[in-house]
Amino acid sequence: VRDVEIDPEGTFKYILVRLQRPGGEEQRDIVRGTKAAEFHNHIFEKVNPEMEKLGYECKCLGGGKIDHNSKDKKIRVFGLSTGYGKADHSVTVEILKKVYTDYEITWSDDKK
């Protein structure tokens, strides 16, 4: 399971999802975001069955928005999900840094 699956460009909704094997202690968090999702729960409704097939239980830890500028190699994480609440953007940024190693990645509690 990849740590991050986000659109290559633009501003879009994202969610932070915790994966866990049923009865297992090991947990890991993944980031998913796409312009195709009108609401945060649309992302979760896609991710959850995919992860269940692989034997994981999913829990949405919250959401927000990502502004991805691939030309300038910048990612900004901000905002919140009305349905799931605000994700811990500092956790999201740490996960993004593992994948986008040469990017400037920042976060804020700004709504826009």
**Is 40 designated active site?**
yes
Question: Roughly how many angstroms between the first and final C-alpha of the chain, as a whole number?
Answer: 30
The enclosing H or E element of 35 equals none
How buried is residue 22: exposed, middle or buried, by Cβ count under 10 Å (0-12/13-18/19+)? exposed
Residue 13 known to bind ligand: yes
The catalytic position among 40, 42, 68, 89 is 40
What are the distances in angstroms from CA 51 to CA 1, 2, 11? Answer: 8, 11, 25
Q: Return the closest-CA partner of residue 64 out of 24, 112, 20.
A: 112
Kindly list the catalytic residues: 40
Residue ranges of the binding site for substrate: 13
Instruction: List binding-site positions.
Output: 13
